[in-house]
């Protein structure tokens, strides 16, 4: 059985850790509120952007455009959005599992990492990190998303990769965050988009190809930025939950150690009384 001194020392250590986790929970809560507001404000724009571009592409299904057809390269570019810090439960590992869970040859996958944890985990598993933009996650902006989008699109247009994917965490609400892996290019047209408004005539100025050359990069950039905003909100939500659980666990451990300390103290007092009584009886 541990001594009273050991129990007291461990209790103090856990109490100090509990104060840290409680503070981290409060910080994450504040950050979550800001990130949640930002995600909710931007979601309608990206939703209608997606629907509009899908409708445009559905009406351009007969056009032979590089963005609508798979490239000759068998390589895949995967943009992986994770955090730069841990202590967020399974937030980072769940996104990494999306990539490692696919039936892809590692040699045919180029990782464009946004967030240090994802880059470290995938590099450790033998994936090639084509680019690591960890600094973006500190305060993601639309220009950051555009810069990363340009790198990936250049690789696609130059034939270095034949497909582009995006792995991130979708923010549903404060306690629900779902990792998602979506295919960006070549664009896959949904049957619903083909049938919806198929009888509507659509004209392009100056022509379809030039219009798509402008629309699709903005479309992909919008998805990148939307994913960044949702990932930040999901990260803070996951960290808030993890720190709340850690704080609760620390409280339980402190209660258990307090009980053990009181029992040890009671045992020590009982032993001292027994020794005193035994000494008194021996003298008499």
Helix (H, G, I), strand (E, B) or coil at 208: helix
- CA atoms of 117 and 139, how far apart (whole Å): 16
Instruction: Tell me the pLDDT tens digit for each residue of 52-84.
Output: 776 776 666 556 667 777 667 889 999 999 999
Count CB neighbours of 113 within 10 A. Answer: 28
What dotted CATH number matches 4-20+243-283? 1.10.287.80
Name the CATH superfamily, with its identifier, for domain 38-239: ATP synthase, F1 complex, gamma subunit (3.40.1380.10)
Whether the per-residue pLDDT at 49 is higher than 80: the answer is: no
DSSP 183-206: EEESPPPPHHHHHTTTTS----SS
**pTM listed for this prediction:** 0.81
Confidence class for position 136, pLDDT limits 50, 70, 90: confident
CB 103 within 8 A of CB 176: no
Q: Which long-range contacts (CB under 8 A, 24 or more apart) does 67-70 make?
A: 67/156, 67/185, 67/186, 67/187, 67/212, 67/216, 68/186, 68/187, 68/212, 69/186, 70/162, 70/163, 70/186
**CATH 1.10.287.80 intervals, the chain:** 4-20+243-283
CA 119, CA 80: separation in Å to the nearest integer? 8
Nearby residues of 185 by Cβ (< 8 Å), 6 or more positions away: 67, 153, 156, 163, 164, 216, 220
- Per-residue model confidence as pLDDT tens digits over 223-233: 899 899 999 99
Domain with CATH 3.40.1380.10 in the chain: 38-239
Share of the chain above pLDDT 90, in %: 26
pLDDT > 70 fraction of the chain, expressed in percent and rounded: 89
Question: 208-259: per-residue pLDDT in tens?
Answer: 777 777 888 888 888 899 899 999 999 999 999 999 999 999 999 998 988 8
Distance CA 194, CA 216 (A): 18
Q: Would you state the pLDDT for residue 122?
A: 93
pLDDT one-digit tens code per residue, 183-211: 888 876 665 555 554 555 667 677 777 77
Q: Which pair of structure tokens corresponds to residue 262?
A: 């009181």
8 A C-beta contact, residue 118 and residue 95: yes
């Amino acid at each position: 059985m541990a001594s009273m001194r050991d129990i007291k020392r461990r209790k103090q250590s856990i109490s100090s850790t509990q104060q840290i986790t409680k503070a981290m929970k409060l910080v994450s809560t504040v950050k979550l509120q800001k990130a949640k507001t930002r995600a909710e404000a931007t979601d309608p724009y990206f939703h209608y952007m997606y629907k509009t571009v899908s409708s445009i592409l559905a009406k351009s299904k007969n056009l032979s455009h590089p963005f609508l057809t798979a490239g000759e390269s068998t390589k895949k570019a995967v943009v992986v959005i994770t955090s730069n810090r841990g202590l967020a439960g399974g937030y980072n590992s769940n996104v990494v599992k999306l990539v490692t869970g696919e039936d892809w040859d590692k040699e045919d996958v180029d990782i464009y990492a946004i967030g240090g944890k994802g880059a470290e985990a995938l590099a450790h598993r033998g994936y090639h990190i084509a680019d690591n933009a960890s600094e973006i996650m500190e305060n993601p902006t639309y220009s950051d998303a555009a810069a990363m989008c340009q790198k990936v699109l250049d690789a696609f247009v130059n034939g270095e990769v034949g497909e582009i994917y995006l792995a991130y965490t979708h923010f549903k609400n404060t306690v629900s965050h779902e990792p998602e892996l979506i295919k960006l290019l070549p664009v896959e047209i949904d049957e619903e988009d083909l049938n919806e408004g198929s009888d509507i005539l659509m004209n392009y100025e100056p022509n379809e190809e030039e219009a798509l050359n402008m629309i699709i990069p903005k479309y992909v950039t919008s998805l990148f930025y939307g994913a960044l905003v949702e990932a930040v909100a999901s990260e803070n939500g996951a960290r808030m939950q993890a720190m709340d659980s850690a704080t609760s666990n620390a409280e339980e451990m402190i209660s258990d150690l307090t009980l053990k300390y009181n029992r040890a103290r009671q045992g020590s007092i009982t032993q001292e009384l027994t020794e005193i009584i035994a000494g008194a009886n021996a003298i008499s």
